[in-house]
């Protein structure tokens, strides 16, 4: 058994969270067509019941819709829940007040006075500057409206710069949210993972199942691919053929540990240490399945074998 809690700077988070981009987003995810508020509320409730009590959202998800849904769900639960949201550095947001105003709007949509984590959605800071941005975030920590500061999609150099700017105000950088999975391991080779470990920064891994590739649902013979997946070469017959060894090993380990291939893939991320996967969940079953990656840990030899198979 493994602890379901991870210390992240001055807060404790579950070893797995839930990404909520699909909650309220009709443009990319089709919210309101084959799923809606009922399904995502059931996903929220199932995740909380299973101990995955950390939800990652953003002001741009569904143009505020994701935050509003979470705010509604929070009112209906008595369980402690931790929320992370994100600030998007749009061109007309060029001073500290813009950060405070954006945070106020997010807190209003969420219906709370404080959140666990506030992240910069992208390193675009041409109009404001990194120093001004980090000072504004540090100010919100001092005010108590956010507990920790994070960034998203920052390179190793940008992460170091943000860390240094925040350090001037005695505020640590808690997380860098980046794409990371068994099939997308760029951060292991471009310095991001090494720099995060050096600085004690936790990685929030988005798209940890690579758009469903790591569930084992898609095979070269069964490619019922829809939407943006049709444009992704990984979902082509040849792409799926290339990852068959990884999928087969996930299935094998799933039988060994009595887990699903997806749960094994998520656990591989947890096993990297100081990495929190945040898979999406559109319904209760997906949320329950995600949470099944918590509370246990792959053996070292199994982690190593998966690493070798997938890093080709």
Contacts of 4 (CB under 8 A, 6+ apart): 14, 15, 51, 294, 295
CB 143 within 8 Å of CB 115:
no
CB 65 within 8 Å of CB 108:
no
Classify residue 191 by burial, with Cβ atoms within 10 Å: 0-12, 13-18, 19+.
Answer: middle
Active-site residue identified among 31, 61, 118, 154: 61
Please report, to the nearest 10 degrees, the dihedral formed by the alpha carbons of residues 152, 157, 159, 165 taken in order: -130
d(CA 252, CA 261): 8
| DSSP secondary structure letter of residue 184 | B
Q: Give the helix/strand (H/E) hosting 178.
A: strand 173-179
- Structural tokens at position 203: 């990685």
Strand 54-56, strand 18-19: pairing:
parallel
Asked if 180 is an active-site residue, the reply is no
In angstroms, the Cα distances linking 112 to 1, 37, 103, 197, 199 are: 34, 20, 11, 32, 30
The β-bridge partners of 157 are none
Strand 11-14, strand 5-8: pairing:
antiparallel
| 37-50 helix and 65-74 helix, angle to the nearest 10 degrees | 60
Helix/strand/coil for 181:
strand
Q: Which positions are annotated as active-site residues?
A: 61
């Amino acid at each position: 058994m493994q602890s379901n809690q991870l210390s992240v700077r001055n807060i404790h988070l579950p070893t797995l969270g839930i990404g909520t981009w699909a909650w309220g987003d009709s443009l990319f995810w089709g919210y309101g067509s084959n799923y809606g508020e009922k399904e995502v509320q059931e996903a929220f409730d199932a995740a909380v019941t299973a101990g995955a009590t950390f939800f990652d959202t953003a002001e741009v998800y569904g143009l505020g819709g994701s935050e509003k849904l979470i705010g509604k769900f929070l009112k209906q639960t008595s369980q402690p829940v931790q929320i992370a949201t994100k600030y998007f550095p749009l061109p007309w947001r060029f001073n500290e007040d813009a950060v405070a105003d954006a945070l106020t709007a997010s807190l209003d949509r969420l219906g709370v006075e404080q959140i666990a984590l506030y992240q910069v959605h992208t390193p675009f800071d041409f109009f404001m500057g990194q120093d001004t941005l980090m000072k504004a975030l540090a100010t919100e920590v001092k005010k108590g409206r956010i507990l920790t500061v994070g960034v998203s999609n920052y390179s190793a150099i940008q992460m170091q710069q943000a860390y240094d700017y925040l350090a001037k105000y005695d505020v640590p950088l808690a997380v860098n949210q980046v794409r990371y999975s068994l099939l997308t391991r760029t951060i292991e080779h471009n310095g991001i993972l090494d720099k995060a470990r050096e600085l004690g920064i936790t990685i929030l891994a988005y798209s940890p199942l690579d758009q469903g590739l790591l569930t084992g649902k898609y095979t070269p013979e069964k490619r019922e691919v829809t939407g943006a997946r049709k444009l992704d070469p990984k979902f082509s017959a040849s792409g799926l053929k290339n990852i068959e060894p990884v999928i087969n090993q996930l299935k094998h380990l799933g039988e060994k540990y009595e887990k699903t291939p997806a749960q094994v893939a998520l656990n591989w991320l947890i096993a990297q240490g100081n990495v929190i996967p945040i898979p999406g969940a559109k319904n209760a079953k997906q949320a329950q399945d995600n949470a099944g990656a918590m509370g246990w840990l792959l053996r070292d030899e199994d982690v190593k074998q998966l690493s070798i198979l997938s890093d080709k």
